[in-house]
Structure 1
């Protein structure tokens, strides 16, 4: 499984995550979930094709 997300949570290699599926139409969690272990972390400084946070 690969998930790309904004690096705003401080996840680190070795962390265990419980990813819960949310239905915005029903405004509730579906009950489906995946328990995963972070094996790689890549931090990027790009947002929508533009570099940010660098001089």
Structure 2
């Protein structure tokens, strides 16, 4: 997972399915990953330089 960016769309290399975030999520990592994306993790931790996801 990138530490400074999000991924809005993901295309599965196996079946070709295109994933997009579920309603209320900012990226595919937040919707389908086991943990939210790094920007959201930082924001929840209250890190001073943490911006919102994909900003």
Please say whether Structure 1 and Structure 2 have the same fold, judged by a TM-score greater than 0.5: no
Tell me the TM-score normalized by structure 1: 0.31
Q: Which has the larger radius of gyration?
A: 1
Tell me the TM-score normalized by structure 2: 0.31
**Structure ranking higher in strand proportion:** 1
